[in-house]
Amino acid sequence: MIETMLTIALVLFSATIAIAVIRIILGPSMPDRVIALDMIGVNLIATIAVVSIMLNTKAFLEVILILGILSFIGTIAFSKFIERGVIVERKRDR
C-alpha cells in the first residue's frame, strides 16, 4: 500500500518535471525559463526525498539541503543577470 502510494507520487513528480521542461523550451522570455528552472529544482528536492524513502536509506537527506541552496543561489544569480547585465558588480567610486 505504502509502496504503491510512493510510486504514484514519484510518477507525478516526474510528470511535473517533464511539463516544466516543455515550459523551458517554449517560454517566450528569459524569466519564464528561470521560473521553470526554479520549479524543476524544487521538485527535484521532493523527488529525492521520495527516492530516499523507497530505497530505505538516510544517505540522501544531505542532498536535499545542498540542492535547495544551489537552486536558490542559481535563481538569484539569474535574476541579477537579467536585471543588471552582470552578476558580480564592482564598486566604481573608491
d(CA 24, CA 18): 10
Cα-Cα end-to-end distance for the chain:
65
Residue 45 or residue 94: which is nearer to another protein going by CB?
45
Residues at the interface with another protein (CB under 8 A): 1-2, 5-6, 8-13, 15-16, 19-20, 22-23, 29-32, 34-36, 38-39, 42-43, 45-46, 49-50, 52-53, 58, 61-62, 64-65, 68-69, 71-72, 75-76, 78-80, 82-83, 93
d(CA 89, CA 77): 12
Least distance in Å: CB of 31 to another protein? 4
